[in-house]
Structures are given as structure tokens and as C-alpha cells.
Structure 1
Amino acid sequence: MPASLIDPADVASIEEQLGRTPRGLVRVAWRCADGSPGVVVTAPRLPDGTPFPTTYYLTCPKAVAGCSTLESRGVMAEMTRRLAEDADLAARYAASHEAYLADRRALGEVPEIDQVSAGGMPSRVKCLHVLVAHALAAGPGVNPLGDEAVELLRELPFGECLGER
């Protein structure tokens, strides 16, 4: 497992955000405009040995709530429909899947989940939380549907966390 590069104060903040002890933390990948952790990187294998495919984990409570709101509005189904109709979007989304896998492999090889990314990539949208976390951690242009979801979140309370992204 990769060594944790996370400040104990951040761990305490993340525990408060999640309402539980976080598992497999490696580092903070993105911070809200106020400096609070917003996305963390998790190890591909948890301390108990469990494979964990979610490399980028959304911790900001406003972002989590915003993603849930978007999901309840049918955004995932609409994005999945567009993937089936737009070859360019599907190709860019498949590339984001490969980028996600490469990021996770850099943390360690876990054969059980080697070709499994997260959030439904590469063929559907199953979890906006993961796509937003990936988009925030990797930066604009890596995950097209994550970027779209981040833009939609600007209209919700999470928008204040984004700052100038």
C-alpha cells in the first residue's frame, strides 16, 4: 500500500465530513476554495486487503449533496444516453477511464480490479460522485462528463467551493 501523505488535521477534517473513519487515505487531491479537503486519493487495496477501485473519493459534503441532487434529476441517464449517440464523447470518456486506471496503477497493482475503473466508466454513467471527484482531482479536460457535472454543480451550494476552477 502507498504511504499516506496526508496531514493529521486533514484526516480529522475528512472524518468529520464523512462521519466515519476514512480508509486507505493516500493524499488530498483537491481542496475546496476555503482549503478544506474536497477529494482524496485512496489506496487501491484497503488496509484489510480489500480491493478498492475508487481512487478518487469525494469528501466535500456540499459536493456529495450536489451530486445526489443531480443524480435524482436524471443527469446520469441523460449522460449515458448521450454516450450511446455521440462517438466523440464516448471516445473521450473511454480515455478518461484509461487515465483513471493509470492513476490507480501508479499507486499499486491490484489484479482483481485491474480493468475496473469507477463511476460506470467506460460505457455508462453509474455514479456522478466518482466522475466529479476524478474531474476535480485530474483537472479540466480529463473526464468530460465529470467536467460537465462540475459545471452543473456551480448552480448548487457546492458552487461556492469551486472558486475559480
Structure 2
Amino acid sequence: MDTPPPRTEPTAPTDADIAAFKEQLGRPPRGLRTIAHRCPCGLPDVVETAPRLEDGTPFPTTYYLTCPRAASAIGTLEANGVMKEMTARLAEDAELADAYRAAHQDYLARRDAIEELVGFPSAGGMPDRVKCLHVLVAHSLVAGPGVNPLGDEALAMLPEWWRKGPCVTVPEPPAESEEARP
């Protein structure tokens, strides 16, 4: 990737954001708290979820990647063995392992600021292995460069998924009828 997408500030989800999420994942959101990062096209690409779903089920994946183009590109990295290579490097590179443990602590602190999930891991395999690049990239997009070294690496390996424009078409809300207007 030539230039990673810029960091964006979290925002409350709008009706259009929720409609985009439904189009991106093919289902309504669960535990949605904020739009944690926006793709340069303007659509959500990472959402922040509650540590517990509405029914009380723990959901430790705080940052959830929603863009199908980014997710597909990350899936290709996973299929090509990038996670295995990164995990092996963690065992060999003490500095990288320390930085990855710090990323794990950052992830937990962000989740625990919402609600503490005692005894639940962070996500993505942190702090000892790489289990899900989707989570690591989502964390990097939200936290910004330098917080999650392996998320940053995976992000740098991705194509610029936003260059083709929005990944989904968000349905327009129905127009108000003349009679319904005040």
C-alpha cells in the first residue's frame, strides 16, 4: 500500500452507517457502539462493539472490520501464511514481542474502558500469537500507526481497497410524501 488510510475519529452511527453495515456484512449490527474508523470513501470500515452483546454474551472483539474489500484482501494474506510467519517472528524477536504485548495492553485498556471482561483475552491472538489479521488491522486503523506493530505490517501489505470507490451501495431512505411534511 502506498499510503494507509488516515486515522479518523470515532462517531456515533447514523442510519446510513447502519444501512452500510447491513450491506457490508449481510446482517444487522450486534453490540454496535461507534463507527471507530471510516474508509476514505466515507463508509464505515471498522466498528467498535460492546464487550457484551445485548443478551449478555461476552464479545471480546472490540474492533470489527466491516469493509468486504479490506476483509477479502486480509483473508488472502492469512491464506498465504502471513499469520504463521508473524507468530514465528514473535518467538525470535524480543523487541517485536514486547511491542505486540504493549498492543495487547492497549486493546484491553480500550475495551476495559467500556466494560471489563475479566478472564477474557483481547483478540486476534494477542499477546502471544497471531490468530486474526482482521482484528489487528482494525486495531491499527483505530489506534493509528505505531500502536500495533503487526497490525501496521499487515495494513502495509494491503492494496488500497478504497480506490475503486465505496464497497457497497447504501439504499436511499424513502422520500417523505408531500402529506407527511409539516
TM-score (norm 2): 0.81
Name the structure 2 match of 1:16. 23
1:4-153 matches, cutoff 5 A: 5-113=12-120, 116-153=121-158
Deviation by residue 1:132-152 (Cα, 9 ceiling, x = unmatched): 000001110110000000000
Deviation (angstroms), 1:112: 4.5
Give the alignment's Cα RMSD to 1 decimal: 1.4
**What percentage of aligned pairs have identical amino acids?**
62
CA contact (8 A) 2:60 2:117 kept: no
Alpha-carbon separation, structure 2, partners of 1:118 and 1:85: 22
Alpha-carbon separation, structure 2, partners of 1:73 and 1:139: 25
Alpha-carbon separation, structure 2, partners of 1:159 and 1:87: 35
Alpha-carbon separation, structure 2, partners of 1:8 and 1:46: 20
Alpha-carbon separation, structure 1, partners of 2:82 and 2:161: 17
Alpha-carbon separation, structure 2, partners of 1:143 and 1:111: 22
Structure number with larger C-alpha Rg? 2
Q: Unmatched 5+ residue regions in structure 1?
A: none
Alpha-carbon separation, structure 2, partners of 1:140 and 1:160: 21
1:160 to 146, 159, 163: 163
> How many residues were matched structurally?
154
Q: Unmatched 5+ residue regions in structure 2?
A: 1-10, 165-182
CA contact (8 A) 2:51 2:62 kept: yes
- Stretches (4+) displaced over 4 A: none
Alpha-carbon separation, structure 2, partners of 1:158 and 1:146: 16
